[in-house]
Structure 1
C-alpha cells in the first residue's frame, strides 16, 4: 500500500523523489508502480505517442508533475499535451489526455480520485489501463466506460486498438493469440 507524509508545498516542489510522488492537501503520497506489466505498458504509450507527436500534434510527457488544483499535484503515468500548449516545468495548462496504468495494489476507487482531479482541471479524457485484466477504460465528462475495441481522443486523430495496447505484454507472458 502506498504511504504518505506531511510536507510543505515548497519543500515538495524543491525535492526530487525517486520515483516522483503526488502532493495532495499537504501530504506527499507514494504511487504504486515498478512492476513489469506496468513498465511494458508505460513504454508502449511513450513510444506510441512519441513517434506520432508531429502527426497527432501532441507532446508526450511520462511521469510529469501536473498541478490539478492549488492543493493537488499529480504525476500521471503518461501526460499528453497539445503541441500548441505552452511548455511548462510543471504542467498547469490542462493536458489533452492523462493515462494511468493500474498496478497490482491500485484500486478503481483510488483511481477515480485521480481521474476527478484531472477532469476537474480541464483534462479532456483519461485512459485507465489494467494490464492484469487486459482491459482499458475511458473517463471523461460522460463518465467511466470500458473501451472494448479502441481508445480514442474525440476531436483528434488519436486512435489505438485495445489489442495493440496489450500485444507485447501478451507475447511476453505467453498469451499471444489467446
Structure 2
C-alpha cells in the first residue's frame, strides 16, 4: 500500500478536484459519489429544502465545502443553512443540518468519522440516508438511530420530511 501524500491546506484550497474531496490533516480523502440512487436522493432532499426555503427559512447547498478545523475540510452531500447565516465561500460555522447519503459500498461505521467531525464543529442535526436499504438515521457521536416513524425532523422547527415520499420519488424512475 502506497504511503499517503500530504499536501498543504493552501494547495487544497486552490486546486479544483472532480469530484471535490475532503481534506483531513493533510490528506485528500475521496468521497463515494456518482451512482444514480445517491445522486437522485441528493437532488430530492435539496429540492425539498428549496421548495420550502421561505417557509422554513433555509437554503440547501449540495456538496459545499465545510471547514471543521484549520486542517480538516468536509463536503456533506447536502448542507442546510439558515437564511440568516453568512454566505461565505467555505462554511466555517455550524450549519443547521448536514446530510450524508450513503453510496452502495459505504457503511455507517465508515461514516462515523465524518459525523464526529460535524459534531465537533457544533452541528446539532446530522442525517444519514441509505437509498439502497431505504433507511434513514439521525447521526451523532453516539452512533446512528433509525427514525421510528418514517419521518426526518429538526426539533423546534417546522422541518419534517417524509421518507415514504422521498423513496417513492426515487422509485419513479
TM (norm. structure 2) is 0.93
Identify unmatched segments of 5+ residues in structure 1. 173-178
Q: Hey, what's the Cα distance between the residues in 2 that align with 1:143 and 1:105?
A: 19
Tell me the SS of whatever aligns to 1:6. Answer: coil
Q: Is 1:32 the equivalent of 2:7?
A: no
Q: How many equivalent pairs are there? A: 169
2:160 is matched with: 159
- Which structure 2 residues correspond to residues 1-178 of structure 1 after superposition, within 5 A? 5-140=5-140, 143-148=143-148, 149-172=150-173
Do the aligned partners of residues 27 and 141 (structure 1) sit closer, same or farther apart at CA in structure 2, a change above 3 Å counting? closer
Using the TM superposition, give the Cα deviation of residue 143 of structure 1 relative to its aligned residue in structure 2, in angstroms. Answer: 4.9
The alignment yields a C-alpha RMSD, in angstroms, of: 1.4
Using the TM superposition, give the Cα deviation of residue 7 of structure 1 relative to its aligned residue in structure 2, in angstroms. Answer: 1.6
TM (norm. structure 1) is 0.90
Using the TM superposition, give the Cα deviation of residue 167 of structure 1 relative to its aligned residue in structure 2, in angstroms. Answer: 1.1
Q: What whole-Å deviation, never above 9, does each CA across 1:111-159 have from its counterpart, x for those lacking one?
A: 0110010011011110000001000001247752001310001111100
Q: Hey, what's the Cα distance between the residues in 2 that align with 1:131 and 1:8?
A: 35
Identify unmatched segments of 5+ residues in structure 2. none
Tell me, yes or no, if the aligned pair for 1:5 and 1:29 is still in contact at 8 Å.
Answer: no
Deviates more, 1:105-114 or 1:129-138: 105-114
Q: Hey, what's the Cα distance between the residues in 1 that align with 2:92 and 2:52?
A: 23
